[in-house]
Amino acid sequence: MLRTRFAPSPTGDLHVGSAWTALASWEMARRSGGVLVVRIEDIDPPRVVKGATRSILDDLRWLGLAWDEGPDVGGSCAPYIQSVRAPLYESVLDGLAARGLTYPCDCSRAEIARVASAPHAGEELVYPGTCRDADPAREMKRAPALRLRVPPGSVGFEDGVMGHFAHDVLRAVGDFVLRRGDGVFAYQLAVTVDDAAMGITDVVRGADLLSSTPRQILLARMLGAAAPRYWHVPLVVATDGTRLAKRTPGGTIKQLREAGLSAEEIVRTLREGLATNGTWRKEPWPIPAAWCRIPSPR
Ligand code: GLU
């Protein structure tokens, strides 16, 4: 049975871009008689905004996008809140460590930046492998991060929306972090472990995560899990093509709702943007000009 999920980070109100991926997951589940899971990705404490989980869930319900398993409805894969799933991530890390697949790294960002190959604008630094062969019992300069020993070779997949995508993870990002020095589990780890543990067959999310996918497929393989199918929908942008920011007028569902738009109207507009005659849109979708004329939030 198809199982898909919507996995918001509670960093603020539900924005139009997230609502669009939620709608795409919801439709995929409803069309196939599958299951929609909602999972709250709150593993990074400084980014979590108080009250955001409640407000995101309220907005989803108001839009009519009900889910089958999630934080407030329960389900066989509970809990659906990442901050309380830490013991699972910890045990997965223990398993990888026991197989010699991880190592501690006490490099600072600045140290990595000095040696890393210069990335293209906007890309992540490629970790040069400084600590790969260092003695793990050495005295650390600071609380170390834990990194995955990434095998060389291309990791590719067929995206349901964007088509073929592949890269060599070692060359593109290097041995990536699974747990930061401050003890916070990395998104790449938590998302891969949870998608596997929750039996997710189809991941629908924004195209900004396309380049994370080879890392997650690689990690899933190393954990002996089947990687899900992926559907990366284009980003929702402001009318001038720039990324939606928190303060973009008309950028959140709450603003549209307070301005008097109905849930039906919003969902209909988002649905029209997502696909035409069953063919997924591939280019970024600018929000309707009328939505941008809604007064900016204070
Ligand atoms: N929690 C992530 C976000 O809100 C989404 C992760 C995912 O869908 O894989 O950006």
- Amino acid 296: pLDDT: 62
Nearest to 230 by CA among 147, 150, 158: 158
Which of 209, 211, 216 for mutating ligand 1's site (highest number of atoms within 8 Å of CB)?
Answer: 209
Characterize the bridge pairing of strands 236-237 and 285-286: parallel
Q: What is the dihedral of CA 15, 80, 186, 138, to 10 degrees?
A: 160
The DSSP code sequence of 224-252 is TPPPPEEEEEPPEE-TTSPBP-TTSTT-B
- Distance from C-alpha of 146 to C-alpha of 131, rounded to nearest angstrom: 10
d(CA 227, CA 213): 10
CATH of the structural domain 3-83+234-292, one choice from 3.40.50.620, 3.30.465.10, 1.25.40.340, 3.20.20.70:
3.40.50.620
pLDDT tens-digit series, residues 69-115: 999 999 999 999 999 999 999 999 999 999 999 999 999 988 998 88
Q: Is 8 in the pocket of ligand 1 (CB under 6 A)?
A: yes
Radius of gyration of the chain (CA): 20
Query: Rounded to the nearest whole angstrom, what is the distance from the C-alpha of residue 209 to the centroid of ligand 1?
Result: 8
pLDDT at 104: 98
Using the mean position of ligand 1's atoms as its centre, give its distance from the Cα of residue 187 in Å: 8
Give residue 264's pLDDT.
98
Assess whether the C-beta atom of 194 lies below 6 angstroms from ligand 1: no
**Mutational pocket test of ligand 1: of 6, 42, 43, 187, the residue with most ligand atoms within 8 Å of the beta carbon:** 187
Of 67-71, 137-141, 195-199, 245-249, the least confident: 245-249
Is there a catalytic annotation at residue 246? yes
Q: How confident is the model at residue 240 (pLDDT cuts 50, 70, 90)?
A: confident
Q: Which atom of ligand 1 is nearest to the CA of 205?
A: 8
Q: Is a pLDDT exceeding 70 seen at residue 54?
A: yes
Task: Tell me, in angstroms, the distance from the centre of ligand 1 to residue 205's CA.
Answer: 7
Give the residue range(s) of CATH 3.40.50.620 domains in the chain: 3-83+234-292, 86-232
Q: How far is the CA of 132 from the centre of ligand 1 (A)?
A: 29
Whether 235 is in the pocket of ligand 1, judged by its Cβ within 6 Å, is: no
**Each residue's pLDDT tens digit, 156-195:** 999 999 999 999 999 999 999 999 999 999 999 999 999 9
Three-state SS for 26? helix
State if residue 7 touches ligand 1 by the CB under 6 angstroms criterion. yes
Q: Which CATH superfamily is domain 86-232 in?
A: HUPs (3.40.50.620)
pLDDT at 125 over 90: no
pTM of the model: 0.95
Q: Kindly indicate the confidence band of residue 121, based on its pLDDT and cuts at 50, 70 and 90.
A: low
| Ligand 1 close to Cβ of residue 39 (< 6 A) | no
Confidence of residue 152 (pLDDT cuts 50, 70, 90): very high
Instruction: Answer whether 41 contacts ligand 1 (Cβ < 6 A).
Output: yes
Average pLDDT, whole number, for the chain? 94
pLDDT attached to residue 275: 87
